[in-house]
Structure 1
């Protein structure tokens, strides 16, 4: 495909000046040319020399002289031959995908920033295309079939931006979920102090909302050879404090079964609420699980 065929295509619908052709090409999402003057006028000279277009000088009293180009019968035949030529599959070339392929160089925050900027760019391009489509109604003199084609071309372009935006949004969600699920696997949350190591659930942002969440924590402890865990109140679901849910009992029993020395950092107001206080008081008499109001106290016991 060459710019010559695009110019013939535009001229098949209306006569235009070089400036008008440039403007049409700049506003179209389908014409992959910048539409600079030198390229357009060079192509028009070539088309004129081949007899595919004619030119007419239009003199204006208060404005510069214009040269208006019109397609010829030979030009229409050339255009038809090109339209009937081989169909090409769309070229799959996205710079952002290439950037993402090498995004191992980026931190989580830098990658999120890149994706957010790309999503914003897609949103802006979609709105721009929709606004151009709204402001450029299809000419009434077009054949009804042409109106259908033009309308669906605009929808095709819009669908690209919409689907690409949805893909980016999904990628951001998937990466966010991956980050949350794998936070606990970060060695930075394995604390070594006074020759003792423990998993700090607070810095890891660990959440215990089910027995499976606790099993995931136990798996991390085994992977790193850790036998001590520090858990924080903000990582415990509300159901933990409601004995009828059975969550607290299941969690505490598994900690005992897997022989993990565990310190809970629980504000006093949480410890004294309901029947959970009785259970925690009973556990505080044991050697493997204790509850403390302050982190420093919990860590001191955990390291002992």
Structure 2
């Protein structure tokens, strides 16, 4: 299926720039193209050459020149012809199922780790579907029928991930009591050590509610954000508590996290941006932070991802905004 149809479909609602089209495709959960500039503008050139779209150039004094695209009557006919054609069969592409199929060498702990990892991925995808901030301004003025159809498209995506989580639960129950020949008998002390290490990896948090918002608050200095796994655990906690807000006390941040070159903060910003999570860090002395770290936070703040505050009240106001 060509990206041309996605572009024509978007333009059938509203005229817009290539950049606007790119944002819509990138934020969509069902338009699978990457939406990079080369792909978008190459497709727009192709559509223009075929007479399926037109464009006008809009000059602006204080901003770059815009090229605004509009679908033509030929483009609408071309799009309708494709919409009425038989839909392609859905393909099942789940790398996890391939991994699971060849898991006969794994012991119980390793198998649990494999399933846990996939479950966390699905939970994060569900979170993104629930909190999707896709720009739907181009739908303004659409009919009640079209608005309902778009609602059910979002509902279909959400149900897909919820069904997958239900399937994972069924899988766990089915294999829970089946003997695993790969299990190795561990010394009791070794088992205790493994459980202690496992507990130490999990950051402890509380759920806070204030008027219109609920957020996950990490304020236990005994467990610190120090690994990529911790970042994934935070995202999972956000998903499980049906929110998109995270508050982190500075005491819960490890030295590695505060060291920008370690890459942990960049990793967190990337994932929080992907899953539309707003996070705040409470730190009394902001000037004590290294400039690289503060610059990264300032940049992310412009995109409503992560900001620094000296008190919880201001952080909550930002969440509410």
> TM-score, normalization: structure 2?
0.54
1:128-143 correspondence to structure 2 within 5 Å = 128-132=128-132, 136=136, 139-143=139-143
**Partner SS for 2:88:** coil
Q: Which residue of 2 aligns with 1:86?
A: 86
Find the aligned partners of 2:11 and 2:69 in 1 and give their Cα distance. 8
1:74-223 correspondence to structure 2 within 5 Å = 74-132=74-132, 136=136, 139-178=139-178, 182=179
Find the aligned partners of 1:57 and 1:156 in 2 and give their Cα distance. 38
1:1-304 correspondence to structure 2 within 5 Å = 1-132=1-132, 136=136, 139-178=139-178, 182=179
CA apart distance, 1:90: 1.2
Find the aligned partners of 2:12 and 2:183 in 1 and give their Cα distance. 67
Cα pair distance change 1:186/1:153, threshold 3 Å: closer
CA apart distance, 1:122: 0.8
Find the aligned partners of 1:134 and 1:39 in 2 and give their Cα distance. 20
CA apart distance, 1:25: 0.4
Cα pair distance change 1:62/1:134, threshold 3 Å: closer
8 A Cα contact 1:119 1:165, kept in partner:
yes
CA apart distance, 1:177: 2.4
CA apart distance, 1:5: 0.8
**Partner SS for 1:54:** strand
Higher RCO (Cα < 8 Å, 6 or more apart): 2
Find the aligned partners of 2:26 and 2:183 in 1 and give their Cα distance. 53
CA apart distance, 1:130: 1.0
Gaps of 5+ in 2: 186-321
CA apart distance, 1:142: 0.9
Q: Which has the larger radius of gyration?
A: 1
Structure with the larger helix share: 1
> TM-score, normalization: structure 1?
0.57
Give deviations 1:32-81, integer Å, cap 9, x for gaps: 11111111111100100011001111111111111111100000000000
CA apart distance, 1:187: 10
CA apart distance, 1:188: 7.3
8 A Cα contact 1:54 1:72, kept in partner:
yes
Find the aligned partners of 1:35 and 1:83 in 2 and give their Cα distance. 21
